[in-house]
Amino acid sequence: MDMEIYYAFVIISCVLMLSILISLRTRRVLNLEKWGPMEKNVFPLIPLKNKQFESVKVQDIMNEINVQTLVFIDSQCSACKETLKKLNFLIPVKKEKYIFIATDTIENRDNLSYLEDEYIYFIEEEILSNQLKIDVFPMYLVLNTNNFVVEKKGIASLENLLDVNDYEVE
């Protein structure tokens, strides 16, 4: 009888934890509007670092290589790993379409070193979470390259990233 109570307790605990996880996941998807810079707002002038630890600005990078999609990733994020794995075969062909931005950690610098220098940049975690309000990964932003207004944002799955290049900036 004691084992039956124990098993019932374990099952109830698992169901409760699963429902909490589903609730949190659903809430994240529904509240995407609250994360990241608001659409139709100008993207802030934030400092990034390249692989050589030199300070650069997003706007300068975008002007130099003519890219409008920023992809915020973290090498420890399972969804990011999956998206990058799928995107890896496209990188030689479509790499000029995206700028990847990751938090400036040793792990990210090591794990993302295979991306070419001009397409991977690093950002301080405080700037990412406090100024940009991004704490969901992977996330993408499409910026208008003329005035750096956020035109579109979303979760950066492979499908979304491929669709975003068909997006016409107004």
CB 142 within 8 A of CB 165: no
pLDDT tens for residues 53-107? 999 988 888 888 777 788 899 988 888 888 887 777 665 545 567 889 999 999 9
Torsion of CA 107, 111, 113, 114, to 10 degrees: 180
Of 58, 49, 51, which is closest to residue 110 (Cα–Cα)?
51
| Position 21 pLDDT exceeds 70 | no
Q: Is the pTM of this model over 0.85?
A: no
Of the chain, the percentage scoring pLDDT greater than 70 comes to 82
Triad 164, 165, 169: Cα angle to 5°? 80
Q: How far apart are the first and last CA of the chain?
A: 68
